[in-house]
Structure 1
């Protein structure tokens, strides 16, 4: 079947289915402040961070001018806290001008001179190169975009903000829990190169995935990753960044096609299969300058939720090495939680992004069906399949969604997204996003059985946090929930036919051409051989049972959810991402049926860290919204994340 015909079938399935940056200028820099003693106000932003680190005192009036001796003391505290040996010294005076502060900072930190473009800083002035340097290294910026206000005098608020930025500049780069923005800032400050970053990740992978601990999260490491990073370093110097993803290492689930590495679905049968083209989402990431660092293990062919495969073996949970990591995108989940890369891609047919995100204290987005292309993803059930981001923060997940969403002529389902994609999902990173929001709480999905109560207790506490952060929690009951969630997943129907189409597109290089040949090869996960045989026994999709599911399941679920949300004026619905935590390896894993709400409606959902059980196992809370309402999900999830900070790195992998 040619590609266009293949996607004609896919279309049929689809039819039925900042926080202010630390480097931002402070508004108080706009004018010379009054020296009058004002009432002490609560410090915010970088100034508040400095006070938290005890570089200053909140008892000082924000707008009072800082003396030279006090400024030196504040800066020296910051340098010492960052592990530096620098000593900041100024001549005694009752106040400090911005040009003198810039000269002091640039000189003491030995910043290389940089050009500046401020209208009120003549190039001939001795302090001009210092102004350029502190601006280039994001320590001190202008009062406005084009004016530095060199004669303006520093207040305590400004002094504290500068001290935090000095601290941030001096302290060594930390790989663990790094974010996309912290990476780019470190490169901006010449503390890091992309080549050096990749090497640090490769060293960490060698330590925790290939030696010692061996969480077994990855199948293939890109042999050209360092070479690609080196080229991206050169490109940045000569042309600048392509995007915020320039030089950023990403891990993708090994069912996304990569033209330079094997794409295996975790199966021995495909261990040497290298597709001709990248999957659309992979191609988009590369175009943005991202580095595909590695391919992650998965539950073979995405069949299950424990992440075991004949090629990759059993992946471990980095929070509890004797527990499952969730699945089927468990390799992506475990590797991002273990800080093997900045973020990753998973796929989700019935929960395969959100389950491992919950079990690994990650943010995972299941997009609306059609928001992002499925072209080049080994299919499980195209009626339900999506690919989406998994990251340690909502911000990084939103950046990945920006890069991967959009129309693709090879996936007709993406035509439905045209006109529904904002200029950037990062525009919805609103720390106050929960204020005034009405959040439906699916009470039936909060059971009190012994196995489920630990999760329920954490999610109930999360709902209280939502209310504390300004949201209104509205208890709801989903009509006919047992009927709606009782439908089977379509992976039992569609897999054989869609896999055979995928294999046909591999052409002459395909190691096998049909599911029958794969089964006969014996090169599959033994524990799911019978399940594969059952799927292979289907002779057609033109059965009444299949048609009934296609025609009624999605429509009934979607109509029920839309009416429920409209009747209660809801922005989103919340429930536990999984009803139970990660089970011990060797025991049965039950994640519940909550994840089917999104999969069976086609609506988007996001799982966000909600906390940990007393045993230290992560728990996630899931927000679900209407079709193509990812902006609302990101706004709500970001506000919740910033108001709770529940994510913690695994202590087993320091």
Structure 2
């Protein structure tokens, strides 16, 4: 009882702490000053979800609330009172995309068939977050099966997730639910996944920082797969620093995902050490005009990109315009589309054990418990080869990917570049339901087929309304360098602003 009374007293002191645009560092400073508890944070963000997600602006970003979130917060507060923080994310409320396994909550992957599917353990990244003291308060909506970079709609949650900067417009996908919720300050940071564009695209549309790591630096264990040659999970945040603080926790070797063995020697000791406001000075950045020709870009987005280049230059970066990747369009074809979903999804279902209602992708197709827009994709995947490596075009696909890697590295080496830069989208967010208008998504062109790292960074607002962002692409395992460039630019420009209509709630 004494502990509970102490917590209640502490929560009263917390009442003036603003949740909108709150940062990890700001939260921890307030905790250390004795003015903030994890319980206050969790209740505050749950109140914001109640007020803004299905009511008010109604961005429709949350699938399920964690019923244990408040109990976890009070437990962390009791530990803090006795011995201090349990880790670098102590008490930080996080929203994760509902294709991450979390023990004790269902992982639906957005599909009605898996609405009550409870995994046997945490995904590796979730485990690392919890060990660091983070509190998963909710799971967010996604494009069902993480299958679309154009919108976030699923059969588990009726309706589209909506962009908080203009609720008539798309969040992009498939991590659009995470992006919308973090942009609207329904939690401090979030986790998304990226197979083609789905961390970086939604981040650009919601003025967030989104990180797609080098393939092999972050584990895919416990993340429902789409195509394991491309799948990556990672943070989405309102600031570079917050994204890096989360990344610093989740990156590294996981014996359950053999691809991460390379991280044993390639992971930096700390990525936070790269957050230098002067990091732009002397960095050589290649401008990839191939991905944003003026005659095929929205004029306002194009102007923002040119201004971003000017700002980078003023900050001390050296911009190189003479950058071209030969045959980029044909290399991006990567041969015939080879569907990996059947093999990878069946393996995931098997990992659920006897508790799983469905054993194969075919079982889910037979159930008809999924959104109708997915039917052809699921049937095509089921009808493809059982083992993707047996596809007659597999070797061609892999050869094109390697050629693309080689050409990017050759260009970067020949010009002594630290990174390549291009906009994440060359057009503003489309209206929900518009699948014909220009989209201009560049995110799938370089990072997914090569496995190279890329980070999306806010660069302002087209027509002073719609968030836009650029991407930095680097060599394998150059995340620290990319973080430094992104941070230096962010500190110089401070483009991020909260969407209107998601104000602080008055105390009850």
TM-score by length of 2: 0.93
Residue equivalent to 1:26: none
Give the CA RMSD over aligned residues: 1.6
- Flag structure 1 segments of 5+ consecutive residues without an equivalent: 1-168
Partner of 2:26: 182
Q: Residue 212 of structure 1 aligns to a residue in which SS?
A: coil
Q: Give how far 1:557 is off.
A: 1.1
1:479 maps to which residue? 326
Residue 461 of structure 2 is aligned to residue 612 of structure 1: yes
Map 1:552-631; keep pairs closer than 5 Å: 552-588=399-435, 590-614=439-463, 616-631=465-480
Partner of 1:535: 381
- SS of 1:294's equivalent in the other structure is strand
Distance 1:275 1:228 in 2: 19
Cα deviation, 1:238-282, whole Å, max 9, x if unaligned, reads 121122201101111100111111101100010000100100000
- From 140, 150, 164, the counterpart of 1:296: 140
* SS of aligned partner of 2:278: coil
* Pair 1:442-2:288 in alignment: yes
Rounded Cα–Cα distance in structure 1 between residues aligned with 2:396 and 2:205: 34
Q: Is the 8 Å Cα contact of residues 180 and 244 (structure 1) preserved in structure 2?
A: no
Matched, 1:408 2:257: no
Work out which of the two has the higher radius of gyration on C-alpha atoms and give 1 or 2: 1
1:355–1:591: 8 Å Cα contact kept in structure 2?
Answer: no
- Cα deviation 1:426-461 (Å, max 9, x = unaligned): 100010111011100001112223653332221111
Match of 1:513 in 2: 359
1:278 paired to 2:126: no
Give the Cα–Cα distance (whole angstroms) in 1 for the partners of residues 168 and 346 of structure 2: 36
- Distance in 2 separating the partners of 1:452 and 1:478: 23
The alpha-carbon deviation at position 591 of structure 1 amounts to 4.0
Determine which of 369, 392, 395 is the counterpart of 1:547: 395
In the other structure, the counterpart of 1:526 is 372
Matched position secondary structure for 2:294? coil
Higher relative contact order (CA 8 A, sep 6+): 2
- The question of 1:462 aligning with 2:291 is answered no
Structure 2 spans left out of the alignment, 5+ residues: 1-12, 504-508
Aligned to 2:154: 309
| Residues 363 and 608, structure 1, Cα contact 8 Å, conserved in 2 | yes
**1:172 to partner: Cα distance:** 3.2
- Whole-angstrom CA distance in 2 between matches of 1:311 and 1:197: 27
Answering whether residue 461 of structure 2 is matched by residue 637 of structure 1, we say: no
Give me the whole-angstrom Cα distance separating, in 2, the residues matched to 1:454 and 1:370: 37
**CA apart distance, 1:629:** 0.5
1:332 matched to 2:178: yes
Contact 1:354–1:595 (Cα < 8 Å) also in 2? no
| CA deviation map 1:71-110 (0-9, x unaligned) | xxxxxxxxxxxxxxxxxxxxxxxxxxxxxxxxxxxxxxxx
1:364 aligns with 2:210: yes
In 1, the alpha carbon distance for the partners of 2:156 and 2:404 equals: 37
SS in 2 for 1:415: helix
Asked if 1 retains the 8 angstrom alpha-carbon contact of 2:111 and 2:154, the reply is yes
Asked if 2 retains the 8 angstrom alpha-carbon contact of 1:255 and 1:378, the reply is yes
In 1, the alpha carbon distance for the partners of 2:274 and 2:218 equals: 19
SS in 1 for 2:95: strand
Checking the alignment, whether the CA contact within 8 Å between 1:493 and 1:546 is kept in structure 2 is: no
Question: Which of 287, 299, 307 is 1:453 aligned to?
Answer: 299
Q: Tell whether the 8 Å contact from 1:575 to 1:623 is kept in structure 2 after alignment.
A: yes
- TM-superposed CA distance for 1:554, in Å, is 2.2
